Chains A and B, each alone.
Chain A
Amino acid sequence: DIQMTQSPSTLSASVGDRVTITCRASQSIISWLAWYQQKPGKAPKLLIYEASSLESGVPSRFSGSGSGTEFTLTISSLQPDDFATYYCQQYNSKVVFGQGTKVEIK
């Protein structure tokens, strides 16, 4: 089974910071990767699919990159609404989520 590992588990940052979250797959998933944002008590929200395609309505400060086994989610300038937990999800083989990265206020 494919395993997904996110790093870091927690990230402390300030408004305006550039933030990067990494997701590594245990084997190649080509570009079959999605990113979600989840706030406490809420459902996840799709941000990125196919590694780098921005979901409609998602602010352009979010971007995704990578292929094969290493992927990144970048927030170019962190906004107050962006403090949340972020999950990657591979869909090359079945569906597996990463363990999440919590972005907290520094």
Chain B
Amino acid sequence: QLQLLESGPGLVKPSETLSLTCTVSGGSISSTDYYWGWIRQPPGKGLEWIGIIYYSGTAYYNPSLKSRVTISVDTSKNQFSLKLSSVTAADTAAYYCARRESSGNYFGCWGQGTLVTVSS
């Protein structure tokens, strides 16, 4: 059974870089069928797509975040990662990693999410 698990610091200072990793188990991140993505949700608010990456390293980002976001993949560890630079309080959110399905840009399997707070 596929499982995704986010990990990383729960507290990041303003202007610094948020870094999270998603570890995939029960399946290979190198599958040619899927992309792997990040979605976030500020407390009490809706969902925002951050971006997706293919095992080859090809990535696509939300235009509103593109200048600050980097998503990378490590196939040897079955992991993919998110870096968000120059964070502010507005980046405080639960961050989810998820698998984008083969038939379209929607997400069929999600991690449990991790809350990242931006505060000094």
Contacts and interface: CB of A to CB of B under 8 A. Distances in A.
Interface stretch (A14-22, A63-71, A75-83, A92-100): A92-100
Interface in B100-115: 101, 103-108, 110-113
B103 A95 contact: no
Given A94-B49, A94-B62, A43 B96 contact: yes
B105 A95 contact: yes
Interface residues of B, number: 20
B104 A50 contact: yes
Given A94-B62, A94-B63, A46 B49 contact: no
Contacts of B112: 42-43
Given A46-B106, A89-B47, A96-B49, 17 more contacts: A34-B104, A34-B107, A42-B113, A45-B110, A49-B103, A49-B104, A50-B103, A55-B108, A87-B46, A91-B106, A94-B49, A94-B105, A95-B106, A97-B46, A97-B48, A100-B46, A100-B47
